[in-house]
Chains A and B, each alone.
Chain A
């Protein structure tokens, strides 16, 4: 029983990390259909922001709290800059965007290597987040790391904030209008280029927040973004374009699957099996879990 509960919670916490990483993508890839491979490096930028802040703010707790908004701004600004420099020229060529942003990602990784050095660095977690909470006591105990709970909470907060922004604010309405019909939005007086840049700012900013969270569960290094970006894209592919709820469900399902398979096989075999499961799933739902059905010929 405890084993099952333990695996479930491991799955949920893997899922929460996946969700945080994929959330920004659900805006830039899911809503705007831009494949930004440098998204992983925006995560990295968020993580290094935490590292730098901790050097100037001695309290680990305060520096982490300060890092959340600062990382959002740093990565968001990088994203807006990238959108302005390159991506806006490529909206009609999604595959070329993928390769162009891969080039950007290479350069950002090298930049990180030149500034911070190639070896991984580490931050100190605040005392409050280093311990465990015992959920079930007794002979067969089940405990959960506080940092994992914090990430879960952060993921839920980020999802709620993003979906409220999309649903309730004028900005959100404008983003959805542009996603659904760009030309119509343009003639209705919406500056689509400004909406694009703002959406990209938010999506990339969320990557920065994910980067802050990742400092709690692993080392910070120049290639940390590359290691997670593929999984994040798979979440969106399986979840379906243009739907936040698809990404949320799929992140947790893939997390659970990964955890169960890792438990019963090995980490490397689990990776392969998860991919097989994804291809099998796409046989059933080629457009992902949730789709917007339209009659257009594409």
Chain B
């Protein structure tokens, strides 16, 4: 297992600096939550790590520098992500979605032949995310929460070592959140997981460690309790002193 090491990361769009010198270290096997108000730079940070936007500084994963590599090479070095709005291939079936995610390393000969049966890792992922029954349905017909699970399943078969999840439980019911949280805990036993989330209840229940971003910088870092007790964090969440109030506001924002 590898960890993520970000040093002095900077991203700017036409003069506006979205990420302003972030230092962040995620140990192997961590389940790290990134929180912070809107515009804090959370998604941009993930965009920079996965090569979607240009950035300066350094991002190392398992010792290799990621900045400057193309998106698909970063993906091949074991880093996968999801998006705020679940992005799956709507016209393809659940099975086809997973099979494509599993296949980046396939040779030309395998690609040019038909898929026979269900590959073992795909079957396992179907089981893990609970979509076995729906394997032959088009992904476009899935419910919102199911699409998000399918995305996580795609990361599993992709055999990534680092999962970057952008608001994975947005729009899910309480039970679905619980199930997703437990799934993430299980996943993080073998892989490193970073979650962007606005839902403070969810964060309190499942985070192993938390980083708070504000205005493109890391404001505070530590366990859930440590971060909640940090006066700087309370200040950022609209100046309220009680962490509980801060959480409620953040939930409404999400």
Contact = CB atoms under 8 A, between A and B. Distances in A.
Interface of A: 293-295, 297
11 contacts: A293-B13, A293-B14, A294-B13, A295-B13, A295-B43, A295-B44, A295-B47, A295-B53, A297-B52, A297-B83, A297-B87
A297 B43 CA distance: 12
Given A293-B13, A297-B52, A297-B87, 8 more contacts: A293-B14, A294-B13, A295-B13, A295-B43, A295-B44, A295-B47, A295-B53, A297-B83
Nearest to A297: B83
A297 B13 CA distance: 15
A293 B13 CA distance: 7
**Size band of the B side of the interface?**
under 10
Nearest to B85: A297
A111 B2 CA distance: 69
> Main secondary structure on chain B at its contact with chain A?
loop
Interface string B1-42: 000000000000110000000000000000000000000000
Contacts of A297: 52, 83, 87
A297 B87 CA distance: 10
Nearest to B44: A295
> Main secondary structure on chain A at its contact with chain B?
loop
Interface in B32-90: 43-44, 47, 52-53, 83, 87
B16 to A, nearest CB: 10
Contacts of B53: 295
A6 B44 CA distance: 52
A294 B83 CA distance: 16
A55 to B, nearest CB: 53
Contacts of B52: 297
A223 B26 CA distance: 64
Contacts of A293: 13-14
Contacts of A295: 13, 43-44, 47, 53
Nearest to B13: A293
A258 to B, nearest CB: 33
Contacts of B44: 295
A297 B50 CA distance: 13
A16 to B, nearest CB: 31
Contacts of B43: 295
Contacts of B47: 295
A189 B13 CA distance: 29
Nearest to B47: A295
A295 B13 CA distance: 9
A184 B14 CA distance: 22
A239 to B, nearest CB: 18
Nearest to A294: B13
A31 B53 CA distance: 24
B234 to A, nearest CB: 29
A63 B87 CA distance: 58
B20 to A, nearest CB: 16
Contacts of A294: 13
